[in-house]
Amino acid sequence: MSLRQRLSGIWLISMTLLALFAFTVYFVAQMWLSLLQALYLTLAVLQIAALILYLWGPEKLKSRIVRILYRVLYASSFAVIPAFAFIFMGLVSQYHVTIPDSIDAASMPAAQILPADQTVVYNTGTVYVIFPEYSDITLACGKRPSKADETITWCSGAAFQHDISLGFTHENIDGDHAADGEFHESPYNKDSFAAFVFSKGSFAFAFDDASSAIREAAEAGGSGFMQFGLIRDGEPVMNINRPRARCYRTLAELNGNLCIIDSVNMLHFEAFMEELQRLGVTNALYMDMGAGWNYSWYRNAYNRVVTLFGLPVPWSHNWIVFRK
């Protein structure tokens, strides 16, 4: 066997193992985008097929069609490394960065976790409670807000996108929503959706008639969107089953003030909910924190941008934005 054939064998074995590992990581991490799941599985199957043909012996392939097939399968192996890099970045993006300038609130009474004149972050050991400085809250759609905009103090994903699409349409946002005083009706409302609205300088959570609340906010020149209701009047209203730990986020009302609460590290949903109830969260919406969808950043009291999850995905098209 020539050196070239040996190197080809080592390459195919390596790419097959890497493709299987990438698919396993994707599956275990529950990055549930069915299209990508199918692509990663297909890529792994192609590498296995290429390796089987190699082990059989390329020189034994008499049929011209089979030889062409082998070359195509071999060529597909060059897509494994980029695919693995993508899934690796997606996995890394699920781990929350440490916020060094947060206030240690592990032993602080929940009643003392309050906003300040500038953006402030508390660390209870289980969750970060983030109070962005703001005078206005909007729903940005289509164009991702820029970190160069110094009026923005918080930016993160808001409503679900119904389908994976590189192009933006309001119809593809799950749930009725309002942006800058304009109401957009969605064909994808869910019974378990609640609404967050902001208009005339005040925020509100609506659980009974979310659509009407958003319409009223739009008529007042405000913004709003729908998400799964998480906590209502201090009582959990959402139960989800997660077989593994991950990072979670909620847009919440705590001590009468609006805040974002993120898990410090990956944890089980039950532990996240227990911490929210311990703090005495009054109302809250679930904020999706899947890989890529967890893109978020805030501007700290020193006017510096702190990126919590920095991997945006091109099919995420709406964000909640706090402004000074």
Interval 227-257: pLDDT, tens? 999 999 999 998 776 656 678 999 999 999 9
Chain segment 196-207, per-residue pLDDT in tens: 999 999 999 999
Phi, psi of 70 (to 5 degrees): -60, -40
- Judged by average pLDDT, the poorest of 198-202, 212-216, 272-276, 292-296 is 292-296
Spatial distance between the Cα atoms of 249 and 257, rounded to a whole number of angstroms: 16
| Burial grade of 85 (CB within 10 A; 0-12, 13-18, 19 or more) | exposed
pTM for this entry: 0.76
Question: What is the reported pLDDT for 252?
Answer: 98
Average pLDDT over residues 90-110: 82
**Alpha-helix runs per DSSP H in 29-134:** 34-56, 64-76, 80-92
Counting residues of the chain whose pLDDT is more than 70, the rounded percentage is 91
Helix (H) or strand (E) holding 296: strand 296-299
Tally of CB atoms within 10 A around 198: 22
pLDDT per residue over 152-180, tens digit each?
A: 999 999 998 877 777 788 888 899 999 98
The predicted pLDDT at position 127 comes to 96
At residue 189 the predicted structure's pLDDT band, cuts being 50, 70 and 90, is confident
- Residue 163 phi/psi, 5-degree rounding, is -125, 155
- Beta pairing, strands 103-104 & 120-123: parallel
